[in-house]
A and B are shown apart, each in its own frame.
Chain A
Amino acid sequence: MTDRKPLKIAIASGKGGTGKTTLSTNLAAFIAEQQEVVLVDLDVEEPNSGLFFKGELIHEEAIFKMIPQWDESKCTLCGICPKVCNYHAVIQLGPSILVFPELCHSCYACSELCPADALPMIPKKTGTLRDFQIGNLHFVESRLDIGEEQAVPLISKTKKYVADKYGDVGIAIFDSPPGTSCPVMEATKDADFVILVTEPTPFGLHDLSLAVETMRALNRPFGVVVNRYGIGNYEVITYCREENILVLAKISNNRKIAELYSSGKLMYQDFPEVKKSLSNILDY
């Protein structure tokens, strides 16, 4: 079995607000005490793990997606481009070709099928990537521009940046968006292991089952961390047992933890049991 670096751990959940970011930030900081680690915030619509770190900004870059741009001088008005765009991102109104960047999925069909080379693909800014460092911890965050509709291209490009720049760092942790749709799949589809964070409530259980379905569809090994254990009921544990799902840790419900989180502080140092849970997770 080949030893591929880095070990990629994605942290996801069906339901929002279960504690993904709490876990990913504390886990990353814990690992950083011993070795180099990179934490990547892929919740590009609402990236907020960065609120827990004050590091040095190493690098910042605009991230682009490719969209077609109409070159009127070359266009023969043959009418092929609106026909080949499945998203109606390119339309023809008489003598004009109009491009709608928000609708474009960057499939390149119009550009490559244009007989006159009148729709070259040009980059359009879709978000910003920032790379920070605090000691052993590298923190990469990508932020989608307000008004941009597609998270997936930005998530994909961020992963590539991390793979290129931090290819020889031992562990990479990916804080994923909540839910089960495209952005989550993009964030978790090539993880070596996915940690699903849930809470022991009916909403938590319901959304966890959706997340489990997604992980099975993607064929990812996964385990569950139950956060705020003690509120609600034990159905989540029963569910995991019935489904043969590994429960990595149960973090107790504790108001102090919530208060520290709300102030943007890491908390594992103050709570030995959390520290223990974190090391249990890593051992696995």
Chain B
Amino acid sequence: MTPLLEARNLTKIFGGGVFERKQTVALEDFSISIDGDRPSVTAVVGESGSGKTTLARLLLGLVTPTRGQVLYNGRDLRTMGAPDWKVFRHDVQVIFQDPYEVYNPFYRVDHVLTTPVAKFKLAATKAAARTVIEDALRAVGLRPEETLGRFPHQLSGGQRQRVMVARALLLKPRVILADEPVSMVDASMRATILASLRAMTVERGISIIYITHDLATAYQIGQNIVVLYRGSVAEAGDVECVVKHPQHPYTQLLISSIPVASAERTWTTEMVADPAIRVTGQDGCTFADRCPSATSPCLQTPPPLFRTAPHRAVACYLYQSAPALRREEMVAVFAAPVPPKAEPSGPPGSGEAQHAGV
């Protein structure tokens, strides 16, 4: 496969300057790549402090890595010239978490749509621009006459977020980075927005990197998943395997803590110690201080990724009998990007994602 957007051994450390002695490792040795030939949806799941936001900003080129590289079309972002940046900014779009902060309160919501059209010369005339914008709004289920001309405070959070999705669509990007796109949106609107995102991959061939703390939506929308814990990958692979049969103790803890919206009680009672913030110099596995299965090697060197199945890798010494993978090879465990077909409404469970076995 030809990688479109690639991260190689990305590491980001904050602090540690002259005035700030304490360093925080936000992300460590992270590698991933998005295929340019076939669209895919990759979910990156992590809680606060996992490094997922840092990852998003690194991939967008808003922050420079301490070590490692971000490559677009094979070119390192730091060495790209202005014309390459223009292409990058065109091809890689983002949907931020907060549908309130992303709008300049001085302007009507049209502003976030007309600006990229003008800057990237998507239309020759004003009328053409208007058509392009209206089409994008309709594609996400909004009515242009009810949306355009309004100020941000006149729309609901969900509507604002959908305008942002429309904005992302305008540029016909190749990759969309969605950073918690529905966490600040009401429950009834979430499904609508997620449906738009899924349609983007299926109908328009856009790859999505879906960053979230919500495993349920990640599971629904993703084909492959990466679970981050305090800056490192804990587990990665096909989303059905990882979610249904988690192997890393952290993933198991995470899944068992999720309150399931169903009639049966699944919450078990098990208190786990509070985590501290990780600093550099802390050896061993990042999860060792909370892990019920920690042994002495866990406290000394961080474990490599072990490939426990064709479509799964776990960074845990419990599985050291499996073949080890280098971090850069993590993407090898991702299932072939064939998006699940969007079925008509029917009983849940009729989805047929094609994926290799556990």
Whether chain B is bound by chain A comes out as no
Query: Which residue numbers of B lie inside 8 Å of A, CB to CB?
Result: none
Query: Which residue numbers of A lie inside 8 Å of B, CB to CB?
Result: none
